[in-house]
Structure 1
Amino acid sequence: MTRWHLTAALAGGATLAALLAPTLNGLVSTGGGDTNNGGGGLIQPLVEPPLPPPLTQQAGKIQLTAGLDQGAVLAGQPTERLLVVTLKAPDADGGNDRPVNVSLVIDRSGSMQQRGKMEYAKRAARELIESLDASDTFSMVLFSDDAELLAPARPMLDAAWLLRQVDAIEERGSTNLYAGMTMGIEQVRRSVSSETVNRVVLLTDGRANLGVVDPDSLGNIAASAASAGVTLSAMGLGVDYNEDLLASLADHGGGSYRYVSDPTTLTTAFRDELQQMSAVVASGVAVDVDLGDAELVSVLGGYATSGDTDRTRIWLGDLYGGETRKIVLKVRVKPGAAGGDLDIAKVTLSDRDGSYAPAQVVAKVTDRPEEVERSLNKGLASLGYMAVASDLADQAASAYAAGKKDESLSLLRASTGIAAQNAARFDDDSLRKQAATLEEQRVQYDAAAPESEEGQHAVKQNKATGRAWSR
């Protein structure tokens, strides 16, 4: 049964209950009077059951759920609610991995000499190359002052030649991330196919300082590539790169963002990226939220979004086998009359294969506070408040990085309080763990100077952790 059928059925049930209410009220005893059951009345007062949980419906390959943290609102006043959308991907078919069409784009600037970063990057690139086979397409781009095409896109037929090219890489110059990224995108686009996973994997240890450096412009390039079927993943190595830029590139590009603090773990990071590429079950995934009796306050989690307060598109890109994602939106529900329903939102999922039937989100309007409390959906509320706490923690990390330590600590205390209070309210272990981790972050920020290596590491690590909490 689709969600709109259920909504119609509930509306019909509400109408029938309204028609019967006067008769039922006349039969309920209010005390005294002769009865045949010892003064208890002909029937006892009805106890209303809890509101039904949001339905999970199939949207192509993805299971989609959408609902409010509380399904009822008080009459006559606006109220803020959390609209929570979850997406559950099916397990990947391990025996039927899709071929990959991948371009590896590596920063070769002078800073890659430090701590042996380039040698570890070369080692990781070698393993990735050796993991591919003749059904895969591979290209490799280096960038410093400009971009160099080390290996043009072609089927993986001569791994030995590629390995020799990798061995000869040397560091030099500055960081023209734009040149490397655009060349990598172009290589993948030459062989793009709906039958393959088409991905650019970008690795850098520094800040873009040549060519196009504006984050919005670079994000738009990644988004344009994604709309053409080419996703982009970004890896930041060490503590000197711009984590907000790389996260934005991955968000707009529909791929993954990874913080690699230790160059010795690059091989593992590349291996994980390849495993994810092999497990893609849905590409070009986006969620459109059309609001009715509500207004958008914010979308949490740093997703790439477009639209306005009435219609918002949230871009997710690739989903992997067995993955569960969530989107949390703060919305302001408009006032309604008691006894009625409010049409909060229509949530529609689309991917490369098309668009699917929307999920309808409805709120019941009541004048009874206890009914509002009874409408709590603990599962969705836990997910929602984890994202709320994470949003404050992300603000704390940005404030700390900007040298505003007192503001950062204040935001973290507020974030920890939200997680801890709702952990107790919902008896939720995930929120308890989040609260404990947030307290550890506060200790980190209190102990280290923002400009220190320890402080910069804490910012990048904590922002990456927050992304996982919000999504």
Structure 2
Amino acid sequence: MPNTLPRILIQPLKPAVIAGITQKLPVLIRVQAPAAAPTESKARKPYHLALVIDRSGSMSGAPLIEAIRCTRHIIEQLEPTDMASLVIFDDRVQTLVAAQPVGDRQALHLALSRVHGGGSTNLYGGWKAGADGLLPAAGQAALTRVILLSDGNANVGEITDATAMATLCAHAAERGVTTSTYGLGSHFNEDLMVEMAKRGGGNHYYGDSASDLFEPFSAEFDFISALCARQVRLSLAAAPQVRIRLLNDYPQRSDTPFPVVHLPDIAFGAEAWALAELELPLALAFDGAGPLLQVAVTASTPEGEPATFADATLTLPAVSMAVWETVPEDALVVTRQSELAAGKLLEQARAAAEYGDWNTVERLLSEARRRFAEQPWVIEVLESMAELAGLMDTARFRKEALYSSRKMSSRISAAEEGSYQGPDTESASASFLRRKTSQGKAQFGKPEDEKE
């Protein structure tokens, strides 16, 4: 039955530990939002968005036309009371519309009609102008976010270093302004764009071509519209002498007594998840495991109120090896393990592709297909990667490998997610929950009202 309250679920690989030996126990932690938004009509706080578009020379023509069309789509979804700004950049940065209520949208549409291609790429300057315009009123919004689109590298401006820019995105997120990034084509710096979004508390997408942009833009706004909990923080406390190792690549705080993990925002009907490995000492396993792990979550609603999650505790019995071997593994834990492991193999394949070592790429992908033969979505992703490897296009392979790896390790999933049945079945899911087999390609078509 669908859940009606926020909750935390803890699922071990097996519901027991082996008595008398040291061991490592995989544990899946699921942080779930309620199944649907409240039915009663309730005025939401406004969204504050900065739409930041790269208009450098390489964006001229179809890429810029499609970027403007996607931006128009977002503008049309906003309420008159929402706030929006429009920033464009090449080597210069221009704020065409300062942050203001959307109203009848005419000011934004008029400004978009005057955007044309330009010169180099001052990516930091564009992002900063968008973020600075949102910071003064960040606390008044349900969500305050920079939506940044670029097809190039940060090659001019005050800051071009990727680490410095990602750090500034993290600082802005701490002050209430998050960042989502959209990369276009094969020339943008995917490491920079992914890290900006990761540290900036937003989402990261890319389109292989201009026509592939609409799908992620639509998914982003659908997600924002269904937002249930933001600033989600996961706290993990283990029994004495039990060590915790987080397997996902989520940002963590290291200045606290217990691990605090920054999870993605969560939409209604969805969950964020983390896979941890508990290292159990001999004495604990011998005497009986008892309470092993306590999990707490803090978060806020879009209205800025605390989102309440009851703490969850994992307690397991200790059984003999013979009994333990008869206990079946949890299928969802196995699936999440497979996704993380496949993502790691894609990272290795990406590193090999950078050196032009396509033999190693082929070997890694073949190994992954053997290991994860029982995971249909993972297999389809790997088949897509194998097709790209056959083209020996390093830039495209690097991007798809990075974005697919990140999706496998940090995706928001449906709270009641079923087994993968193929793209046709996924098309019935909310756009932000769909399991795509190629992150840079549109797979589900455009809504009827958006088709030409």
Q: TM-score, normalised by structure 2?
A: 0.79
* Alpha-carbon spacing, 1:379–1:212, altered in 2? closer, same or farther (3 Å): same
* Alpha-carbon spacing, 1:257–1:384, altered in 2? closer, same or farther (3 Å): same
For residues 326-369 of structure 1, what are the alpha-carbon distances to aligned partners after superposition, in whole Å with 9 as ceiling and x for unaligned?
A: 21223433323434115433221111216744322234333324
Q: Is the counterpart of residue 361 in structure 1 residue 314 in structure 2? A: yes
For 1:289 and 1:360, locate their aligned partners in 2 and report how far apart those are by CA, in whole Å.
10
Q: Tell me the secondary structure at the aligned position of residue 213 of structure 2.
A: helix
Q: Which amino acid aligns with 2:323?
A: E
Q: Is the counterpart of residue 461 in structure 1 residue 400 in structure 2? A: yes
For residues 48-80 of structure 1, what are the alpha-carbon distances to aligned partners after superposition, in whole Å with 9 as ceiling and x for unaligned?
A: xxxxxxxx999xx53211232123333443323
Q: Tell me the secondary structure at the aligned position of residue 311 of structure 1.
A: coil
Asked whether the equivalents of residues 417 and 435 of structure 1 are also in contact (C-alpha less than 8 Å), the reply is no
Decide which of 109, 127, 130 is 2:73's aligned counterpart.
127
Residue 202 of structure 1 corresponds to 148
Residue 427 of structure 2 corresponds to none
Residue 294 of structure 1 corresponds to 242
Q: Is the counterpart of residue 379 in structure 1 residue 332 in structure 2? A: yes
For 2:260 and 2:307, locate their aligned partners in 1 and report how far apart those are by CA, in whole Å.
15
For 2:358 and 2:244, locate their aligned partners in 1 and report how far apart those are by CA, in whole Å.
31
* Alpha-carbon spacing, 1:174–1:195, altered in 2? closer, same or farther (3 Å): closer
Q: TM-score, normalised by structure 1?
A: 0.76
* Alpha-carbon spacing, 1:109–1:440, altered in 2? closer, same or farther (3 Å): closer
For residues 143-178 of structure 1, what are the alpha-carbon distances to aligned partners after superposition, in whole Å with 9 as ceiling and x for unaligned?
A: 222422111111113522322221222222322222
For 2:387 and 2:256, locate their aligned partners in 1 and report how far apart those are by CA, in whole Å.
38
Residue 32 of structure 1 corresponds to none
* Alpha-carbon spacing, 1:443–1:410, altered in 2? closer, same or farther (3 Å): same
Decide which of 296, 320, 324 is 2:271's aligned counterpart.
324
Residue 64 of structure 1 corresponds to 8
* Alpha-carbon spacing, 1:398–1:88, altered in 2? closer, same or farther (3 Å): farther
Q: Is the counterpart of residue 448 in structure 1 residue 391 in structure 2? A: yes
For 1:322 and 1:357, locate their aligned partners in 2 and report how far apart those are by CA, in whole Å.
18
For residues 249-275 of structure 1, what are the alpha-carbon distances to aligned partners after superposition, in whole Å with 9 as ceiling and x for unaligned?
A: 222222221111221243443333222
For 2:308 and 2:279, locate their aligned partners in 1 and report how far apart those are by CA, in whole Å.
27
Q: Is the counterpart of residue 400 in structure 1 residue 400 in structure 2? A: no
For 1:83 and 1:328, locate their aligned partners in 2 and report how far apart those are by CA, in whole Å.
6
* Alpha-carbon spacing, 1:153–1:440, altered in 2? closer, same or farther (3 Å): closer
For 2:18 and 2:80, locate their aligned partners in 1 and report how far apart those are by CA, in whole Å.
62
Asked whether the equivalents of residues 368 and 382 of structure 2 are also in contact (C-alpha less than 8 Å), the reply is yes
Mapping 1:19-98, distance limit 5 Å:
62-90=6-34, 91-93=36-38, 96=42, 98=44
Residue 192 of structure 2 corresponds to 245
Q: Which amino acid aligns with 2:56?
A: S
Which structure's CA Rg is the greater one? Answer: 1
* Alpha-carbon spacing, 1:308–1:342, altered in 2? closer, same or farther (3 Å): farther
* Alpha-carbon spacing, 1:330–1:309, altered in 2? closer, same or farther (3 Å): farther
Q: Tell me how many residue pairs correspond in the alignment.
A: 398
Q: CA deviation at 1:135?
A: 0.9
Residue 413 of structure 1 corresponds to 366
* Alpha-carbon spacing, 1:444–1:128, altered in 2? closer, same or farther (3 Å): closer
Q: Which amino acid aligns with 2:296?
A: T
* Alpha-carbon spacing, 1:321–1:442, altered in 2? closer, same or farther (3 Å): same
Asked whether the equivalents of residues 385 and 400 of structure 2 are also in contact (C-alpha less than 8 Å), the reply is no
Q: Which amino acid aligns with 2:149?
A: L
* Alpha-carbon spacing, 1:85–1:101, altered in 2? closer, same or farther (3 Å): same
Decide which of 160, 179, 185 is 1:232's aligned counterpart.
179
For 1:131 and 1:207, locate their aligned partners in 2 and report how far apart those are by CA, in whole Å.
30
Asked whether the equivalents of residues 51 and 148 of structure 2 are also in contact (C-alpha less than 8 Å), the reply is yes
Decide which of 296, 318, 321 is 1:348's aligned counterpart.
296
* Alpha-carbon spacing, 1:123–1:444, altered in 2? closer, same or farther (3 Å): closer
Residue 147 of structure 1 corresponds to 93
For 1:298 and 1:406, locate their aligned partners in 2 and report how far apart those are by CA, in whole Å.
31
Q: CA deviation at 1:119?
A: 1.7
For 1:457 and 1:97, locate their aligned partners in 2 and report how far apart those are by CA, in whole Å.
44
Work out the percentage of aligned pairs sharing the same amino acid. Answer: 26
Residue 170 of structure 1 corresponds to 116
For residues 368-410 of structure 1, what are the alpha-carbon distances to aligned partners after superposition, in whole Å with 9 as ceiling and x for unaligned?
A: 2432541632332332333222322233234323433333333
For residues 124-145 of structure 1, what are the alpha-carbon distances to aligned partners after superposition, in whole Å with 9 as ceiling and x for unaligned?
A: 2233323333211111112222
For 1:323 and 1:385, locate their aligned partners in 2 and report how far apart those are by CA, in whole Å.
20
For 1:281 and 1:62, locate their aligned partners in 2 and report how far apart those are by CA, in whole Å.
9
Q: Tell me the secondary structure at the aligned position of residue 166 of structure 1.
A: helix
Q: CA RMSD in A?
A: 2.8
Q: Tell me the secondary structure at the aligned position of residue 350 of structure 1.
A: strand
| Structure 1 unmatched runs, 5+ | 1-55, 424-430
